[in-house]
Structure 1
Amino acid sequence: MAAAVYPESNGKAEGRNNKIKLIKRRAYGYRNMEHFKLRIRLETGCLI
């Protein structure tokens, strides 16, 4: 019902969250948290 009333969608946020989860899975073992943050910024284009 809410989808019919409100035209906004959280699809972009959900997609970005999913991409970050995939990066976390691949990045297991990063020694440096800054490299992990840079990888997220590179692949998603968002700031942390």
Structure 2
Amino acid sequence: MRFNDRIIKGIVFLGEFQNINNATGNGWQVLPTNVKNKYHDHLTAHLIES
């Protein structure tokens, strides 16, 4: 059950990230630092858990 929840959250996260990327045009470079840190921490946590 928890595994499926993680996959669903991952899909939502990727969709959210894609929307931010599309909305900004230049993507990562123009995101505020706190937003970059939020996503960096999220991605790092997933890599460590895997």
What TM-score does the superposition give when structure 2 sets the normalisation length? Answer: 0.49
Question: How many residues are paired up?
Answer: 38
Q: Unmatched 5+ residue regions in structure 1?
A: 1-6
Q: What does residue range 3-42 of structure 1 map to in structure 2 within 5 Å?
A: 7=1, 8-9=3-4, 10-29=7-26, 33=29, 35-36=30-31, 38=33, 40-41=35-36
Larger RCO, structures 1/2 (Cα 8 Å, 6+ apart): 1
State the percentage of identical aligned residues. 5
Of 26, 34, 46 in structure 1, the residue corresponding to residue 39 of structure 2 is 46
What TM-score does the superposition give when structure 1 sets the normalisation length? Answer: 0.51
- The structure number with the bigger radius of gyration is 1
User: Which has more helix, going by share of residues?
Assistant: 2
RMSD of Structure 2 on Structure 1 (CA): 3.0
C-alpha deviations, 1:4-41, integer Å up to 9, x for none? xxx221000110000000001101046x71x3263744
